[in-house]
Structure 1
Amino acid sequence: MKEKRTEVAVIGGGIVGCAVAYYISKLGYEVTIIEKNELASGTSSHCDGNILAIDKDPGFDSQMALKSQKLIGQLVKELPMEFEYRQPGSILVCETEEEMGAAERWVKSQQEAGLPFRMLDQSDLRYESKYLADDLLGGLECGSDSTVNPYLLTYALYEGAKQLGASLMKQTSVKNMSYDNENYTIETDRGVITANQVVNCGGVWAPEMGEMLDLKIPIYPRKGHILVSSRQVPVSPRKVMEFGYLMSKFGGERKVDEDIVKYGVALVFEPTQSQNFLLGSSREFVGFSTDVDWDVVKSVARRCMRFYPKLKDMNLLRAYAGLRPWTADNLPIVSDVKQYPGYYVAAGHEGDGIGLAAITGKVIAEMISNQSTSIDLEPLRYDRFEKEGVQL
């Protein structure tokens, strides 16, 4: 078997893994990405391109998102490839007076935290898009929100890392891993890799990598569907979600029909640079299946038509489903692991992997190089679940 030596092995070639590789390479480390398929072949190519603060809890969560947004803006200038970056802001729309009241409280708390939020009324929505339903009462806006092509950003991050000396082993499956109190030995189907440090960026497969060292990583696959339209007239100029999306994301109660609740469906509308749009979304725990469920697709389409009634006259190209790496507290694991010096986990971002990839990559690089981190990592620690009674 071939043997390879590297300073840092990054397991997983999705957007988080490539961001980690880029920021570590910037510090002069020798980095090897190990990917079992192709770059961005998993969750990173089965999602939309949100870089959002609008749907984050006020406080640590929203501040982390804001820092990542600023880093993405810097990457536009740093990386050797374009990745369809735009910063039009995004909005949440409200159906009821109850939602409007909750939105006002949400906006106030975000404004107090220094984020660019503001309320919208019915006239604002009419100005936003003539295709939005007339009975919507208003909503809210976050002006810092942006969007990217996640596939292109993944490749741009890798190309940036490659120019700094990083290497990629694709079509390479990790079969086993061991630690001898000094180095990690990673056995793959293409040879053995030894590394001083390992970063587990496996997403929904991060637990499988952890088991090789008898680590329990509490990340679970949460399936989501996205519908893709053909090129249409411009429907809305930027990201639009329903306020109920927050309730769907965090498990709150909603006044919607049974199937919408069952499949975790909420409006997500995202225009793309190529003049079509994406529609979502759904949230289900159904194991590792990525088969398209047409009952879910129908529920997503029906929910989207409630907010954009004229969608019924527009054409769809396709539908697809992907897996989001979910944790019980809706925050990722970005952490060292005390049992194994030099072993880090950067996974569990669920639907925020695109938006939080940059800050994740930066803080992992800061930890590896023993620098002060850009954000407080206590809420993202691996061992936090043990404190909450989850056996690791």
Structure 2
Amino acid sequence: MNRTRVVVIGAGIVGAACARELRLAGFDVLVVDRGRPAGGTTSHGEGNLLVSDKGPGAELALARLSNRLWPRLVEELTAEDPRAAAAVEFDPKGGIVVATTEAGARALTAFAAAQAAAGVRTERLSAADVAAAEPALTREVTAAVRYPEDAQVQPAGAALALLGSALAHGARLRADTEVTGARVEGGRLTGVRVPGEVLDADVVVNAAGPWAGEVSARLGAPVAVRPRRGEVLVTTPMPGVVRHKVYDADYVGAVGTGSGDLQTSAVVESTRGGTVLIGSSRRRVGFDDAIRPEVLGAIAAKAVRLFPALADAAVMRAYGGFRPYVDDHLPVLGEDPRLGNLWHATGHEGAGIGLSVGTARLLRELLTGQTPSMPVEEFTVDRPAVVA
């Protein structure tokens, strides 16, 4: 049995996935979170497992690795605890990306062609195909591409199932416990300070999401991970109105922009319970958690242009959260060269739900000396966009 002591900081979905992978590999795992499991960014997401929004490159490769792992993971969780697995609500329903202008159609067609060349399954849809797939969608569609590999989970349910599995296999959890500093000996991290004590560690994994920048600074090796806020509207149940994840082609540009100004695009999908999730927005406002009516209005306006039937929808709530943003839009994964024993698994921005299981698999492979399932050089900690 590997008795390497690992402290995972963060009990969101990335931390939970890492805890499970490492515990199954035999590590002695303790998860520490300043709040409650899945209580931060994870519970404020939409649960997307997407390849459709990623161009060729390292992030797409990580998304494809993760999408291969998710179905197997759900099978494993079902064998362990069927009730917890049911709460994951894994739904491989596919996604449809649409353009409503000629310029948008050209951009979407070129983007999809590049993805297809990289191995992503893409299907060009005719006007009749679009009407059959999404009867409530606007007819003012100039191009549409279906992505059969896109899927969805219930993010909090998925995180709790992963964490529950880790705990069932012997991992431990310390909730309501904030990391305040580090114990460093000989240039290596040997423990993390929490109120009243030091938690011994041979490895520390910073999986604190948008708070990873603050946590890393407290540990003495700051990384430039900052919060980027987003909001989502939730309607009352409207079963059958929206059948896939549907978004306009502007979404890819909104994800990729480095602007701190408000970016909105129409992202519409239903949940298993029939409610419709309407996003999305991106803006850098620090940790200001105020919900702005003008942001919700901008999101709703774009969604109604895609699905006119939503004009009469009853919105029962809105929520917002913070995504872990890095300037080059790539995750941060690997050991920190400035401080031995400190590893980072963060910076996924809005893709953390989908990328969590692939990230965890790569972390386990790196820590155990195995050949990684994909190249990880573009995720390193010492790249210019990350080192603060």
Relative to the length of structure 1, the TM-score reads: 0.93
Residue 145 (structure 1) aligns with: 150
Which residue number corresponds to residue 239 of structure 1?
Answer: 245
Which residue of 2 is the match for residue 130 of structure 1? 135
Extract unaligned runs of 5+ from structure 1. Answer: 254-260
2: CA distance between counterparts of 1:37 and 1:60?
Answer: 32
Q: 1:318 to 1:216 in 2, by over 3 A?
A: same
Matches within 5 A, 1:6-17: 7-17=5-15
Query: 3-state DSSP class of the match of 2:129?
Result: helix
Distance in 1 (CA, whole Å) between partners of 2:208 and 2:57 is 27
Secondary structure of the corresponding residue to residue 219 of structure 2: coil
- Residue identity in the other structure for 1:104: T
CA contact (8 A) 2:231 2:318 kept: yes
Q: 1:391 to 1:143 in 2, by over 3 A?
A: closer
Which residue, out of 153, 173, 182, partners 1:168?
Answer: 173
**Contact conserved, 1:38 with 1:171, CA < 8 A, in 2?**
yes
Determine if contact 2:66/2:357 at 8 Å carries over to the other structure: yes
1:133-282 equivalences in 2 (<5 Å):
133-181=138-186, 184-189=190-195, 191-251=197-257, 262-282=261-281
Q: CA deviation at 1:291?
A: 1.6
1:22 counterpart SS class? helix
Query: Is 2:221–2:339's contact at 8 Å kept on the other side of the alignment?
Result: no
2:77 matches 1:72: no
**Are residues 269 and 69 of structure 1, via their aligned partners in 2, closer, same or farther at CA, if it must alter by over 3 Å?**
same
Q: CA deviation at 1:161?
A: 0.6
Shift of 1:97: 1.6
**8 Å contact from structure 2 (residues 324, 346) kept in 1:** yes
Asked if structure 1 preserves the Cα contact closer than 8 Å seen for 2:258 and 2:327, the reply is no
Q: Partners of 1:267 and 1:68 in 2: how far apart?
A: 25
Correspondence list, 1:26-37, <5 A: 26-37=24-35
Which residue is equivalent to 2:349? Answer: 350
User: What SS does the aligned partner of 2:39 have?
Assistant: coil
For residues 121-142 of structure 1, what are the alpha-carbon distances to aligned partners after superposition, in whole Å with 9 as ceiling and x for unaligned? 2212111222111211231111
Deviation at 1:232, TM superposition (A): 1.4
After superposition, residues 243-392 of structure 1 pair within 5 angstroms as 243-251=249-257, 262-385=261-384, 392=388
Paired residues, number: 378
Quote the Cα distance in structure 2 between the aligned partners of 1:232 and 1:24: 40
The question of whether the paired residues in 2 share the 8 Å contact of 1:124 and 1:138 is answered with: no
How many Å separate the matches in 2 of 1:38 and 1:6?
25
Q: Structure 1 residue 6: deviation in Å?
A: 7.1
Q: Could you state the TM-score of these two structures normalised by the residue count of structure 2?
A: 0.94
Residue 267 of structure 1 aligns to a residue whose secondary structure is strand
Hey, what does 1:38 align to over in structure 2?
A: 36
- How far, CA to CA, are the matches of 2:375 and 2:122 in structure 1? 23
Please tell me the residue identity of whatever aligns with 2:66.
Answer: S
Quote the Cα distance in structure 2 between the aligned partners of 1:155 and 1:179. 32
Shift of 1:391: 5.5
